[in-house]
Structure formats: C-alpha cells, structure tokens
Chains A and B, each alone.
Chain A
Amino acid sequence: MATIKVQTRFAASARSASIERSIRRGVLYVVVIVTALMFVFPYFWTVASSLKSPLELMRWPPTVIPRELHPENYPAVFKEAPFAQFLWNSSVVTASATLGQVLSALVVAYGFARLRFPARGFLFSLCLSTMILPPQVTIVPLFLLFRKMHWIDTLYPLIVPAYFGSAFSIFLLRQFIMTIPYELDEAAIIDGASRLSVLWHIIMPNSGPAIATVAVFSFLGHWNAFLEPFIFLNTNTKFTLPVGLRYLMRIPTGPGLPKDNLLMAASVMMTLPVIILFFVAQEYFVQGIVTTGLKG
C-alpha cells in the first residue's frame, strides 16, 4: 500500500517535471526566435524601403510591405552618383589588397613559424603588438608621406600597404602553419628542396583553410574600410563604396523629397557581396574568428 502511494507520487512529480521542462523549452524557443527576427528586421526594412517611392517613404504610418514596387530605384542610384565607378574602385582595391595581404602574410608567417633566426620571439611580439596601435596615431604622418609621394587621390595608399603584411593575417597563418607536421618540410629538404619550394609545395597546399580565412577577413576589411579612403581620396570618381555612399547621402535633393530609398538601394548593393561571401565561405569565417579569439 505504502509503496504504491510513493510510486504514484513519484510518477506525478516526474510528469510535472516533464511538463515544466517542455514549458521551459517552449519559452526558450520563443525568446530565440523573436530575438533572431529582431536581428534581421532591419535588413527587411532596408530592402522594403529601397523599393518604395519617395512619397510612400513619408507615409505615416509607414507601410510594412511597399504598396507599389519601384525597382527602378536601383538603376537610379547609378544616375545620381558615379556608383559604377565606386563599385569598380572598391573591387580593384579589395581584390589587389586581398591578394597582397595573403601573399605577404604567407611568406612572413612561414618565416616566423619555421625558420630560426635571432630575435624571432621579440619580433613576433612586436608584430602582434602593432594590433593595438590606433590608426589615428599614424594617419597624419601617413597622409603627409603619401602627399609627398603624390599618392593622394589615388588608390595606391589603400593597396600598397597590404603587400607588407598585416599583423592579424600573419598571426593567423603562423598558428596554422605550426600545426603542419615539420617532418613534411624535413623530408623535402633532405630531398634537396629549397625553403621557397617547401613554402610553395608543402606549406601552401596544406594551408588552404587558413589562407581562405585570411582572404575572407582581408576582403571584409578592405570592402568596408571608411577612414583611410575618406582621408586619402578627394575626387568623387576615385571614391570607394563607403566614401561614395557618404557622398550620395550628402548630395542635396529637391525640397521635401527624401532619397532614403536610393540610399537603401545603395546599401543593399554594397552589403550583398559580403552576404554572398558569407554563405559561400561560412566555415572560414567561424574558423578565423575562433583561432584568433581562443588562442589570442
């Protein structure tokens, strides 16, 4: 008798615990989904606004779904400002600077990871410590230097420095190269391979993911950079996208007519390549973030 009573009480409490558990689970789902929707809502709003007419933009209350679609806002951006030129300039800078950042980081990281030379540890810490250097400290002398070289209002100041290594990429690649077994290098060296051919034939083919990670972050950095291009470029035909978007924002419009639809269309066009890159190279994003974050 007594045992049966205990058993039912136990079953009841187990049942109530499982009900409590599923309620908790449900609340968790609601919280996670609602916050996720809040995070992407501004994206939805940008796209919706980019398709509205100026008149509809000013409507109160705002329309959530545009009443009429105006896809012609997108080509209108190209008429309003030299947007094709911005796109081209940004592509040139991003492609050539990314190439430079990957190549230089690969060679430098190989040196730090594999070759022994005096003061190696010190130089590597020095390299890492440049990461805390705020750009504001060097930008004035760099501006004066580039002015002397007649590089102001050209894309060179945005590209050339990338060929001289960035601390972040060097660090990331060095950490990765150190995980490649040194026996592979040794075997090749015994076979008479030079250091250069070890780098080319052994390190590079084995560093694919790390190289992709550096390339992805370099792409993001150069595509999004605002301060340097803003200071080093003056003419609107030389602008990269970030500076060009600010230019577009500041062009005066007719009285009372907002052009936020054009600004939103331009923002969509600027953000889209980044999002595509993210979906293509998602694993490298995560890898890059995690190696620098956890081992840093």
Chain B
Amino acid sequence: MAVRTLSRPRRWSGEMRREALQGFLCISPWLVGFVAFALGPMIASAYYSLTDYRILRAPDFVGLDNYKEALTADPLFWRSFERTAVWTVATVPAGIIGSLIAAILLHQGLRGTSIYRTMYFLPSLTPTVAASLLWMWMLHPDAGVVNWLLSLVGIRGPGWLSSTKWVVPALAMISLWTGIGGGRMVIFLAGLQGIPEELYEAAEIDGAGTLRKMLHITVPLMTPTIFFNLIMGILGSFRAFDMAFLTTEGGPAYASYFFALHIYYHAFQYYSMGYACALSWFLFAIIVILTAIQFGSSRRWVFYQAVR
C-alpha cells in the first residue's frame, strides 16, 4: 500500500496538474493537426475504400468490393505493383552503395574535398520538376547531349524515356543523380568521421589492406546508418510519383506506371475516389510491413557500436 502510494501518488499535486495542462497546451497544435490532417483523413479514407464514390454522387457502400476488384479484376494493379518493385530494386541498393562510395571517396583527406563535396551535393538541391525537365532535354533521342556523347564512342543511344526497355533505367539514372550526393552521403560522411582511427591503425598492423579495412571495419560500423537509409529509401521509392508523372505519365506502355500513379489516375482522372482509397491502403500496408520486416531483421545484421 505504502509502496503503491509512493510509486504512483493517488492525487496529483496542483503543480503536476498544471504542468500536464501546459504540456497538452504546447503540443495541441500538433494534436489538432494530427486529427485534422492525418487520423481524420485516414478514417475517412478507410470508410471511402468500402464504397463506390464518384465524387458527384454520395458514397455507395459496397463492402470489400474495391479490394476484391484490385486483387482479381485490375491488371494494372499488379502491373503497377510489379513496376514499383522493379523501381525499388533498381534504385535503393544502388543509391545506398553509391552514396557510401562517394562518402568514402570524400573521406580520403584529398585537397579541395569541400569543393568536391559541394559538387556532389548540388544535384540533390534541384527541384524534382527542374530535374525532370533538364533530363528530358538531355535524354532527348535526337538532340540530347547523352546520345551525342554516346555517339562519340560509337554507341547508338536508345530513345530513353520513350523506350519501354530503357525508361526505368533512365529514371533510375535521374534519381541516382539527385540522390547519391544528397543527404544520405552527408550522413555516411558524418558516420565515417565517427569511426575511431585506432581501429584502422590496429588493422594495418595486422596487415589488412584498403579493401579489407573497408569490409571489416567501415561497413560493419556503418550498418546502423545503412539500415536507417534502407528504410527511408524503400519508403521513398514506394511513394515515387513526381518524376515518373512529370516525364512519362507512366508510359510508354505502362513501363513506368508506379503504384502511386495508379492511385492518382483513379482518384483525380477517373474520379473513382472509393477505389483510389482502397488502393492507397494497399500502399500503406506494404510500407508498414516492409518497415516492420526491416526493424525485425535488423538485430541480425545491424551492429551498434558500444559507446560509454
């Protein structure tokens, strides 16, 4: 009894109550925003996903029909899902490895490193719309600089964004251009600077070369940051919309038709809001599952340096 009163006072003191009230007051903007712009819309979306809702007429309850239709009667559902998976595999690992290599290159103590770092970083500042426009121009099949440069070494460049085979590699190239030297590289660079020099010295005494040092010291110590960036990368690639929509609108022949485009077309081109909401829940579920898997598996391969 005495213990209980000690650990949890039955009555709150006036001071604590006031502090709690002030606390809630402080976070109230977020709380209101959370209900108005996240929780509320999520509940509404869950309801609409069970209806046939064509904006001009009131929603008509149809149960799980939208979900059933997506899984069984909508070939573009699977097509866009497959395209998004391909996009993720094409961009996320390459982006992480690219950023890690760039960070390692910038960590060699070369003269003028801060200039190179800025040059690597600049593309990540380009607004997506500007990046899309400039690459559409650079990848122009007949007048683009990329195909001209390829022609100098005797390669006849493809139609890039108008080729079903090359559109995903082309978009991946754009996303690597904006992604490799961006925030992820800066994070890796900070991580590299946090690795104690003694570890490398000890390895050198044991006769380890550059590659061995990298594989046995750098990479294991960087796993927490790699892990964080893997989550962020996959979250980003599953929502990918802007660049594909701006450059190809999902084409040619649905070759760059990502899941987010499928949602957009149903919501704002065909105005089948109910179906679009159901689609968006598939997207959300996939993202939650992937995040959970990554957190679950992280214990096996993420190495946290013992500090303190």
A interface residues with partner B (beta carbon < 8 Å):
25, 28-29, 31-33, 35-37, 39-40, 42-43, 45-46, 49, 57-62, 104, 107-108, 110-112, 115-118, 120, 123, 126-127, 130, 132-145, 161, 163-165, 170, 195, 220, 223-224, 226-227, 231, 241-242, 245-246, 249, 258, 260, 263-264, 266-267, 270-271, 274-275, 278, 285-286, 289-290, 293-294, 296
Contact = CB atoms under 8 A, between A and B. Distances in A.
Interface in B13-33: 16, 19-27, 29-33
B interface: dominant SS: helix
18 contacts: A35-B102, A35-B105, A36-B116, A115-B23, A117-B23, A117-B24, A130-B34, A132-B291, A137-B41, A139-B267, A141-B277, A226-B129, A266-B133, A271-B125, A274-B127, A278-B121, A286-B186, A293-B228
B36 to A, nearest CB: 7
Chain B interface residue number, banded: 35 or more
Contacts of A161: 33, 37
Contacts of B41: 137-138, 140-142, 145
Given A108-B30, A134-B283, A245 B133 contact: yes
Contacts of A163: 29, 33
B110 A39 contact: no
Given A111-B26, A132-B235, A132-B287, A141 B19 contact: no
The 4 closest A-B pairs by CB, nearest first: A164-B33, A111-B26, A117-B23, A293-B187
Contact of A36 (B120, B228, B284): B120
A112 B34 contact: no
Contacts of B200: none
B228 A296 contact: yes
B148 A62 contact: yes
Interface of B: 16, 19-27, 29-34, 36-38, 40-42, 44-45, 48, 55, 102, 105-106, 108, 110, 115-116, 119-123, 125-130, 133-135, 137-138, 140, 142-145, 148, 151, 177, 180-181, 183-184, 186-187, 190-191, 225, 228-229, 235, 238-239, 241-242, 246, 260, 263-264, 267-268, 273, 276-277, 280-281, 283-284, 287-288, 291
A108 B44 contact: no
